[in-house]
Amino acid sequence: MMAHTTEFPHIETERLVLRQISLEDTEAIVRHFSDGEMLKYMNFGPIGSIEEAQRVIRWGKTIFENGSGILWGIVERESGTFSGTLNYVKKEEEDGSSHRAEITYDLARAQWGKGYMVEAIKATLPYVFERMNIVRVETTVHWENIRSARTLRSVGFTMEGFLRKYGCWRCGLVDVLMFSILKEDWERQRGTVE
């Protein structure tokens, strides 16, 4: 098994750069998270200040440094445009172990429909399964968020169920879809397991 590293994994795909976010991204993060339509199915409201954006940046740095997760900034390779975030946070068990991680992500509306998030998730799963030693990646999706459900299915996630009044979205309980992908599913997709 590969262990957590202190060097942030910079990943490049055909169209994207996945990198650590920094204070230089502060204004881009404020702009990105001020789009109400993009945030429609997220459980937090717009980021409206430099201070809030910097809290997100510090949080990303902290979870990576303490080994509890990772937050990538998604940048369009050709234009250099900050286009979203993708993160995995370990879910700690009662005994202190963590074999599960929750994935969350967001993408600027200008980039919707281009397959960018599928590309980003596929590029980051090797790190999550091999370096973070995760066995199961999971997430819940607002039941109306068809676009996100389609993205997850495209990268091999399985819908495990419809959970009633499970998610807390902006102080209201909502129904969600539970999705997951296991390391063995991912290995099978890659052809590394018979």
Domain spans, the chain: 11-136
pTM of the model: 0.92
Mean pLDDT for the chain overall:
91
The one-letter amino acid code at 82 reads F
Q: What is the per-residue pLDDT across 40-81, written as a single tens digit (0 to 9) for each? A: 888 777 888 999 999 999 999 999 999 999 999 999 999 999
Angle at 43 between CA 41 and CA 47, to 5 degrees: 100
CATH of domain 11-136: 3.40.630.30
Q: What is the per-residue pLDDT across 151-173, written as a single tens digit (0 to 9) for each? A: 999 999 999 999 999 977 776 88
78 phi and psi angles, rounded to 5 deg: -70, -45
Measuring CA to CA, how many Å separate 28 from each of 32, 49, 54, 74, 89?
A: 6, 11, 11, 11, 23
What does the alpha-carbon distance between residue 101 and residue 58 come to, in Å, rounded to a whole number? 20
What is the pLDDT at residue 34? 92
